[in-house]
Structure 1
């Protein structure tokens, strides 16, 4: 796990954008994994800027989103499929149908989860998966207690997560759906490169548990310690609870130029 502490959230987003652009330059047919939430938004804005400047194309790429609410009307502004469309897809050159999300409207949600797993495998797997981090340590919607080998499935959202997400629903946690369809921790771990962005002091306890705590279902993101290629991009406040932050900074300072994330 490589931990990179950046001066500002914008710096974290630009480093993540560097990794995405390098991947697509090396292989334009790469498969991306897209997260929603607040943390990745600066990354998507950076990618849009680079696309408009002619520095990156998504014209031969594919993408899979991490999760989706269950029970929202089709086209609801806060469905994660709509968020990705609004915040990234509409502004770059993904081909029609190249971005796929879990079907939160399926009559058989368990089958929809299995179908999503098969779609990811059929596409060759995810090359670079963007991740955010929940305040309780969740990634995607894998809440505390999730199996570390779980696959795409229906999950109940905790009261903490619904409260955290209430800001997207007019501040009313009761408007946040209680169920979701989410990639599992086992699904996420199959991606070849995981890039997690966490910023702000509120994320500091979860970051410390993820990076330096034990691998435990109590902090689902801690399973990333077992992955061979994980990059954790933080700003100073998000890194403030890390015991070894000086060591992470020193390692980054001597990393060979041009090696990338």
Structure 2
């Protein structure tokens, strides 16, 4: 696990660099697309590079991490609508090449199984963007989630709904209570995981993610078992880490050609 501590705008550029290298070096790249606040600056940077530098995503495919259950089709805070708004509409990524879990499916288990198959049939995710919740969830894998889980329906914790109420006008009761989410084992199947976290509110989750014991109590800790994870955090999110000097030294001494 590589930990990079820096300013939020610099972290977004680093994540975009990794996406750009994949896009330019892979004939049919597969991106794992997170929503929430953490990746928005990355999408802004990709959109800028597309508009100003000609970066193309036309040959890429994308898979969303999760989706709410129970929102009406086309709801502005449904994650398909969010990714359309924040990324797809701003670049040349084909909307038909982006797929998310079907939160309106009549047969939820069948929809989840179909989503797993679609990821496999695409060749797996090359680079998965991630955030982390204050309670340590990645995707919507809440505390107590199986570390071997696959795409399924989950009940959101009260804390997650409180955290996400800002997207629903501050009304926690408007936040759905259920979601479909890629499981932890699904996320771990991606070839490169890039997780972004900023702000002091994420500090304990980041501490557990990087330096804590692997435990379902903090689901993100399973990422310690992945062979290629990049954790991009600002000073506030890194404030609980014990080995910050080491993380800064190792990144400062890294060859420039290596990237993240």
Normalised by the length of structure 1, the TM-score is: 0.99
Quick check: 1:159 aligned with 2:155?
Answer: no
Aligned residue number for residue 3 of structure 2? 3
Question: Matches of residues 39-188 of structure 1 in structure 2 within 5 Å?
Answer: 39-188=38-187
Stretches of 4+ aligned residues off by more than 6 angstroms? none
Structure 1 residues 96 and 85, CA gap change in structure 2 (3 angstroms): closer
* Alpha-carbon distance between aligned partners in 2 of 1:132 and 1:229, rounded to the nearest angstrom: 16
Quick check: 1:16 aligned with 2:19?
Answer: no
* Alpha-carbon distance between aligned partners in 1 of 2:207 and 2:65, rounded to the nearest angstrom: 23
Deviation at residue 54 of structure 1 after TM alignment: 2.9
* Alpha-carbon distance between aligned partners in 2 of 1:28 and 1:200, rounded to the nearest angstrom: 36
Partner secondary structure for residue 53 of structure 1: helix
Deviation at residue 62 of structure 1 after TM alignment: 0.2
Deviation at residue 29 of structure 1 after TM alignment: 1.2
Aligned residues: 260
Deviation at residue 243 of structure 1 after TM alignment: 0.3
* Alpha-carbon distance between aligned partners in 2 of 1:245 and 1:222, rounded to the nearest angstrom: 18
- Report if aligned partners of 1:67, 1:140 keep a CA contact under 8 Å in 2: yes
Normalised by the length of structure 2, the TM-score is: 0.99
* Alpha-carbon distance between aligned partners in 1 of 2:54 and 2:169, rounded to the nearest angstrom: 37
Aligned residue number for residue 195 of structure 1? 194
CA deviation profile, 1:49-86 (whole Å, cap 9, x unmatched) = 00112342111110000000000000000001100000
Gap runs ≥5 in structure 1: none
- Report if aligned partners of 2:33, 2:128 keep a CA contact under 8 Å in 1: yes
* Alpha-carbon distance between aligned partners in 1 of 2:54 and 2:43, rounded to the nearest angstrom: 14
Partner secondary structure for residue 63 of structure 1: strand
* Alpha-carbon distance between aligned partners in 2 of 1:46 and 1:149, rounded to the nearest angstrom: 33
Partner secondary structure for residue 141 of structure 1: coil
Partner secondary structure for residue 97 of structure 1: helix
* Alpha-carbon distance between aligned partners in 1 of 2:207 and 2:95, rounded to the nearest angstrom: 40
Gap runs ≥5 in structure 2: none
Structure 1 residues 28 and 93, CA gap change in structure 2 (3 angstroms): farther
Deviation at residue 130 of structure 1 after TM alignment: 0.2
Partner secondary structure for residue 148 of structure 1: coil
CA deviation profile, 1:9-35 (whole Å, cap 9, x unmatched) = 111100000000011110141000000
Aligned residue number for residue 232 of structure 2? 233
- Report if aligned partners of 1:28, 1:58 keep a CA contact under 8 Å in 2: no
